[in-house]
Amino acid sequence: MATPKKITAIEAEVNNLDITFEFEGETYTVPTPRRWPLSVLRAQENGKALGAVERLLGKSQYDKFDAKGDRTMEDLDHLMEALMAAADLDPKE
Protein backbone atom coordinates (compact mmCIF):
# COMPACT_ATOMS: atom_id res chain seq x y z
CA MET A 1 0.00 0.00 0.00
CA ALA A 2 1.41 3.37 -1.00
CA THR A 3 2.00 5.98 1.67
CA PRO A 4 -0.16 9.07 1.07
CA LYS A 5 1.76 12.17 0.01
CA LYS A 6 2.30 14.51 2.94
CA ILE A 7 0.86 17.92 2.16
CA THR A 8 1.75 21.20 3.75
CA ALA A 9 -0.69 23.24 5.81
CA ILE A 10 -0.76 25.84 3.05
CA GLU A 11 -1.66 23.19 0.45
CA ALA A 12 -4.41 21.91 2.75
CA GLU A 13 -5.80 25.42 3.21
CA VAL A 14 -5.73 26.31 -0.49
CA ASN A 15 -7.26 22.99 -1.55
CA ASN A 16 -9.80 22.83 1.29
CA LEU A 17 -8.27 19.60 2.62
CA ASP A 18 -7.96 18.35 6.17
CA ILE A 19 -4.69 18.32 8.11
CA THR A 20 -3.40 14.94 9.20
CA PHE A 21 -0.82 14.65 11.96
CA GLU A 22 0.81 11.94 14.03
CA PHE A 23 0.91 11.75 17.81
CA GLU A 24 2.38 8.81 19.70
CA GLY A 25 2.01 6.50 16.72
CA GLU A 26 -1.63 7.42 16.06
CA THR A 27 -2.94 9.45 13.14
CA TYR A 28 -5.38 12.30 13.68
CA THR A 29 -7.20 14.42 11.11
CA VAL A 30 -8.69 17.88 11.64
CA PRO A 31 -9.89 20.65 9.36
CA THR A 32 -7.58 23.53 8.58
CA PRO A 33 -7.82 26.29 11.20
CA ARG A 34 -10.01 28.50 8.98
CA ARG A 35 -12.60 25.70 8.97
CA TRP A 36 -12.59 25.01 12.70
CA PRO A 37 -16.11 25.09 14.12
CA LEU A 38 -16.93 28.25 16.03
CA SER A 39 -17.60 26.09 19.09
CA VAL A 40 -13.85 25.31 19.17
CA LEU A 41 -13.01 29.01 19.20
CA ARG A 42 -15.71 29.75 21.76
CA ALA A 43 -14.32 27.07 24.08
CA GLN A 44 -10.82 28.52 23.66
CA GLU A 45 -12.03 32.03 24.45
CA ASN A 46 -13.76 30.73 27.57
CA GLY A 47 -10.56 29.06 28.77
CA LYS A 48 -11.86 25.56 28.13
CA ALA A 49 -8.87 24.04 26.33
CA LEU A 50 -10.04 20.48 26.85
CA GLY A 51 -13.48 21.25 25.45
CA ALA A 52 -11.88 22.89 22.42
CA VAL A 53 -9.75 19.81 21.76
CA GLU A 54 -12.71 17.46 22.23
CA ARG A 55 -14.76 19.48 19.72
CA LEU A 56 -11.90 19.73 17.24
CA LEU A 57 -11.00 16.04 17.31
CA GLY A 58 -14.55 14.74 17.54
CA LYS A 59 -15.64 11.90 19.80
CA SER A 60 -13.91 8.98 18.07
CA GLN A 61 -10.53 10.70 17.75
CA TYR A 62 -10.70 12.11 21.26
CA ASP A 63 -11.54 8.63 22.56
CA LYS A 64 -8.50 7.30 20.67
CA PHE A 65 -6.34 9.99 22.30
CA ASP A 66 -7.61 9.25 25.82
CA ALA A 67 -8.60 5.58 25.45
CA LYS A 68 -7.57 4.68 29.00
CA GLY A 69 -8.87 7.88 30.62
CA ASP A 70 -5.48 8.66 32.12
CA ARG A 71 -4.16 11.48 29.93
CA THR A 72 -2.56 14.51 31.58
CA MET A 73 -2.29 18.20 30.74
CA GLU A 74 1.24 17.45 29.55
CA ASP A 75 -0.15 14.89 27.08
CA LEU A 76 -2.69 17.45 25.87
CA ASP A 77 0.06 20.03 25.42
CA HIS A 78 2.11 17.57 23.33
CA LEU A 79 -0.91 16.66 21.20
CA MET A 80 -1.56 20.36 20.55
CA GLU A 81 2.12 20.95 19.72
CA ALA A 82 1.90 18.19 17.09
CA LEU A 83 -1.27 19.72 15.69
CA MET A 84 0.16 23.24 15.68
CA ALA A 85 3.30 22.06 13.87
CA ALA A 86 1.20 20.24 11.24
CA ALA A 87 -0.97 23.34 10.77
CA ASP A 88 2.06 25.67 10.61
CA LEU A 89 0.64 27.67 13.52
CA ASP A 90 2.72 29.52 16.09
CA PRO A 91 1.43 28.58 19.56
CA LYS A 92 2.50 32.01 20.85
CA GLU A 93 0.10 33.86 18.54
pLDDT of res. 57: 97
Instruction: Count CB atoms within 10 A of the CB of residue 21.
Output: 19
**By C-alpha distance, which of 33, 78, 75, 77 is closest to 56?**
33
If pLDDT is split at 50, 70 and 90, which confidence band does 3 have?
very low
Q: Which of 5-14, 18-27, 83-92 has the lowest mean pLDDT?
A: 5-14
